[in-house]
Amino acid sequence: MKLYIVSSVDTVLEHWGRALKIFHPIQLKTITELNRPNEGVVFIHDSSLSDSELDDFIRAGLSKIMILSMVPDFNKAQQVLNAGAMGYGNALMHESHLQSAYQTIEEGKVWLYPDFIAALISRLAESQPKAISEHKELNKLSVREREVALLLAQGMTHNEISEKLDITVRTIKAHCSAIYEKLAVKDRLALSLLLHS
């Protein structure tokens, strides 16, 4: 799958070029240069487009889009994800994060900083205080998997769950894999959305 990058800032373009060279990115000056919009992943530096242009492009559903900002903002992350973007992060984040974001979005999954994911889950739990422990999907899980799933849906990290349940982080990760498979979700954010639905 192709990777297209859109930015008008030289330092950002240089950083992305170094980080993403293994994916052979194609630089676009404007988003309108994208000939076959469904064929690739598009990394867009948010300062390259006006807010309305950015919203129009995301809502058009033309590609797998990652929005990157010099100053990431939680509310902006929510806004672009609600509009249909598949990722949001810092334009100058570590190279390994940029590579991970590309691979995750290429697979059709949502990519966010782990801190943003925890914040989204916490806000979701606060805004929808429904008793998720009665959700019918939890019946597919073992007792321990159910415990772990409920704690994940509250926004707890693997380390916090490990301490609370007095089991290793490795065991927590094994439970998470089983939970995601049984409930047909991709990650903790999707799990939280499912259980709060």
Domain finish residue from 112, 139, 166: 112
Same structural domain, 12 and 98? yes
Same structural domain, 103 and 83? yes
The span from the CA of 184 to the CA of 190, in Å, is 9
The two structure tokens encoding residue 26: 């194609």
- The enclosing H or E element of 186 equals none
Same structural domain, 17 and 73? yes
Per-residue pLDDT at 54: 73
Per-residue pLDDT at 126: 74
- Phi, then psi, of 146 in degrees rounded to 5: -60, -45
Per-residue pLDDT at 148: 95
The span from the CA of 114 to the CA of 120, in Å, is 10
Same structural domain, 134 and 80? no
Domain that holds residue 91: 2-112
Same structural domain, 90 and 146? no
Same structural domain, 69 and 126? no
Same structural domain, 54 and 74? yes
Same structural domain, 78 and 35? yes
> One-letter amino acid identity for 8?
S
Residue (of 195, 171, 192) closest to 122 by Cα position: 192
Domain finish residue from 88, 112, 136: 112
Per-residue pLDDT at 134: 78
Contact predicate 97/89, CB 8 Å: yes
Q: What are the 10-residue block averages of pLDDT along the chain, 197 residues in total? A: 87 92 80 66 86 71 83 84 86 92 88 78 70 83 94 88 95 95 87 81
Domain finish residue from 71, 92, 112: 112
Q: What is the pTM of this model?
A: 0.70
Question: Which CATH number covers residue 23?
Answer: 3.40.50.2300
Residue (of 80, 65, 78, 77) closest to 31 by Cα position: 65
The span from the CA of 79 to the CA of 81, in Å, is 6
Per-residue pLDDT at 186: 82
